[in-house]
Amino acid sequence: MRPTITAFKTSPDRGRGLARDMAVRWALEEVGQPYDTRLVTFAEMKAPAHLALQPFGQIPTYQDGDLVLFESAAIVLHVAERHPGVLLPVEPDARARAIAWMFAAVATMQPPIVELGMAALVERDKPWFEARQPLLEQAARVRLDQLSARLGEADWLDGPFSAGDLVMVTVLRRLGASGVLDAYPTLTAYIARAEARPAFQRAFAAQRAVFEAAAG
Amino acid sequence: MRPTITAFKTSPDRGRGLARDMAVRWALEEVGQPYDTRLVTFAEMKAPAHLALQPFGQIPTYQDGDLVLFESAAIVLHVAERHPGVLLPVEPDARARAIAWMFAAVATMQPPIVELGMAALVERDKPWFEARQPLLEQAARVRLDQLSARLGEADWLDGPFSAGDLVMVTVLRRLGASGVLDAYPTLTAYIARAEARPAFQRAFAAQRAVFEAAAG
């Protein structure tokens, strides 16, 4: 059975692989699981049929037989669990630590990173934008400092590449155009190592093809 | 072997059970796992010995033999996995959906809730506070509307009470004093059902005892 995921018909990231289907595509490529993609418009995402699959009106969803899942990190974890030893270590303690990095990525690293990016998008014309932006950057830097210190000279966060790295790199890539990562050579190299993986490249090409087809 | 968790020596929540050790204590009580608590000061949390356990200088941590974990939801998941059928269904699809709700709680519901609360704490004297606060409330309400619609008349998010409900309720409780939940009787009743669980009550009493001992 091939799972089906949903993705933006017209992604607001303009093909840069920053939408949340990217993590799921990447995980599916890492484990070698072929999949189908169903594209949805913004209007479709807010309609009852999609809300039945995804209560927050977002992409991606994941459908495999009777199973419907949402939340990209949860889908990555499910895909990883179906292929033990690929994206999650088999040894129980190492497996638990890899999952902890998945949660750290979305619960601790992601909020200041998304807030920084969203403010630049939606608060740019507010009178407080100039005064707040340095505070937001500083909040993101606190977490980047800590993550960089923990990664140190290692290639990956805890042993071999894992679903923890996959989700963490997906989150960090959202800083792409901001320049904030320029001060973090350790993290820039970490992201580059991840992006060099053949599975990342295939996933990136797949989402890019959707953007190019829509751009016509 | 009894696991050891860390918690604030002097919790900024003044004993209201809003610090992140609460979710872990609650999960341990639900599965009937006794545990020890090691209290840390704010200075200790930022020191190298704690950063070796928790790279972001936070509580809680979880130590059990050689295993060291951080991120409260990851610890809840680990505890749940060690006791199949209590906080996670045994049936694989239902288990995957419960885990998806854990991620939804920390990745989708939590950011606007924490941002609303943090702004009230740290931006109260900023010139933009009054203008921004309604925007933050609105962002939280979008997610609360969607969660409330999904929960509907059900007692819990997906079948019996699960780790997904435990983490979701922990996140929603942070809205406690804000009044935002007053417009959501469905969610208020959901939280009340969870708080009535004996395991929640024991966990709440345990963290409350720490606060009262510190208050002397």
Task: List, for residues A157-190, the tens digit of each pLDDT value.
Answer: 999 999 999 999 999 999 987 899 999 999 999 9
| CA distance, residue A157 to nearest chain B CA (Å) | 11
Task: Decide: A212 and A8 in contact? Cβ < 8 Å.
Answer: no
Domains of chain B: 4-86+198-210 (3.40.30.10), 92-195 (1.20.1050.10)
| CA distance, residue B216 to nearest chain A CA (Å) | 33
- H or E element that contains A40: strand A36-40
Chain A contact set for B66 (CB, 8 A):
93
pLDDT at residue number B100 = 98
pLDDT at residue number A215 = 86
A37 forms bridges with which residues in the sheet? Answer: A5
Task: Decide: B41 and B9 in contact? Cβ < 8 Å.
Answer: yes
Mean pLDDT in residue range A27-47:
98
Q: What are the Cα distances from residue B112, in Å, to A112, B108, B142? A: 11, 8, 9
Interchain proximity B107–A73, CB inside 8 Å? yes
Chain B contact set for A66 (CB, 8 A):
93
| CA distance, residue B206 to nearest chain A CA (Å) | 25
Interchain proximity A100–B131, CB inside 8 Å? no
Backbone angles phi, psi at B8, to 5 degrees: -65, 135
pLDDT, one tens digit for every residue, chain B (216 residues): 799 999 999 999 999 999 999 999 999 999 999 999 999 999 999 999 999 999 999 999 999 999 999 999 999 999 999 999 999 999 999 999 999 999 999 999 999 999 999 999 999 999 999 999 999 999 999 999 999 999 999 999 999 999 999 999 999 999 987 899 999 999 999 999 999 999 999 999 999 999 999 987
Q: Is the predicted pLDDT of residue A136 greater than 80, yes or no?
A: yes
Task: Decide: B105 and B71 in contact? Cβ < 8 Å.
Answer: no
Write out residues 154-183 of B within 8 Å (CB-CB) of A: none
ipTM over 0.85: yes
Which amino acid makes up residue A3?
P
A7 forms bridges with which residues in the sheet? Answer: A39
Q: How far apart are the first and last CA of chain A?
A: 31
Q: Are strands B4-8 and B36-40 parallel, antiparallel or unpaired?
A: parallel
What ranges in A32-162 are assigned the alpha helix state H? 42-45, 48-51, 72-81, 92-103, 110-122, 129-151
pLDDT at residue number A103 = 98
List all residues 6 or more positions away from A141 whose beta carbon is below 8 Å from its beta carbon: A180, A183
Q: Is the predicted pLDDT of residue A216 greater than 80, yes or no?
A: no
d(CA A77, CA B77): 12
B126 touches A: beta carbon within 8 Å: yes
Interchain proximity A100–B71, CB inside 8 Å? yes
Reported as a pLDDT band with limits 50, 70 and 90, residue A65 is very high
pLDDT at residue number B1 = 79
